Amino acid sequence: MEYETAALLGANLGIDDVYAIANMSRLDDDYGLDDIEMGVTLGLAIDAGVMDFGDSTKAIALINEVGQGTTLGRILGEGAAVTARAFGLSRVPVIKGQAVPAHDPRVENGTGVTYCTSAMNDHTAGFVLFRQPTPAEAVKASKQAQINTAVIDSLGLCYIAYFERAYPMEKVTEMINAQCGLDLSYEDVQEMGKTILKEERAFNLNAGFAPSADRLPSFFKEEPLPPSNFVFDVPDSEIDSFWDF
């Protein structure tokens, strides 16, 4: 079972029945839903009193309501941001209208920078597994991860395989040259990644996502996460400096 599925349809909802989680994930597939978005949305349904923590039967029933197009199902099917507005919830883990994945930015502050600055606030846009010592280092780590990931994605290579190998971009450059008969340098490939990020950024700006959208919800900065009791510690000014390249 994929990590995000187990985390957000399982632990996030207090559900420990692996068969129920698998059933929920299969229903998401059948109805064209995303496990991350649906897991966060159902978490908000718990906050709204629509279902109880740990109630897998109700969770499955709510996903089926989405498939059936009931009034409640249509609200939940629009995702976490719309569900929060419908029920008047203010503590909502979304960025740019999309649910935050299961890697908590309070611990993985570099991934938190990726959530803020990437085109669709996804951890796979530039995953930084370990907490960085300072905000500036969190921005630096996210930037490098996003540049590398943009190249990996554009080549059709497996992001997971190359993340697990610490982004061996020198070898990736050799692969590009061997496959395409080119003579690119490491720096050339890095510039390609930067260009991709800038084009994605331009698309978002033209679509109406102002720089002010590059922010985490405030509770990540205010509520410590046990047992480390970290909060997201990267100030807005450091996040804005991400694009200085």
> pLDDT tens digits for 135-151?
999 999 999 999 999 99
Percent of the chain with pLDDT over 90: 93
When pLDDT is averaged across residues 172-195 and rounded to a whole number, the result is 97
| Together in a domain, 41 and 88 | yes
Task: Give the containing element (helix H, strand E) for 42.
Answer: helix 35-47
Task: Report the amino acid identity of residue 134.
Answer: T
The CATH number given to whatever domain includes residue 32 is 1.10.569.10
Per-residue pLDDT band at 163 (split at 50, 70, 90)? confident
Domain assignment of residue 225, given as a range: 103-243
| Together in a domain, 68 and 9 | yes
| Together in a domain, 115 and 164 | yes
Q: What is the pLDDT of residue 43?
A: 98
DSSP code for 98: E
Per-residue pLDDT band at 161 (split at 50, 70, 90)? confident
Who contacts 182 (Cβ-Cβ below 8 Å, separation ≥6)? 176
Total number of domains in the chain: 2
Helix pair 18-31, 35-47: axis angle to 10 deg: 110
Where are the extended beta strands (E) located within the chain?
94-95, 98-99
> pLDDT tens digits for 67-104?
999 999 999 999 999 999 999 999 999 999 999 999 99
What is the pTM for the complete model shown? 0.94
CA 139 to chain centre: 16
| Together in a domain, 16 and 120 | no
| Together in a domain, 24 and 110 | no
Helix, strand or coil, per DSSP, at residue 152? helix
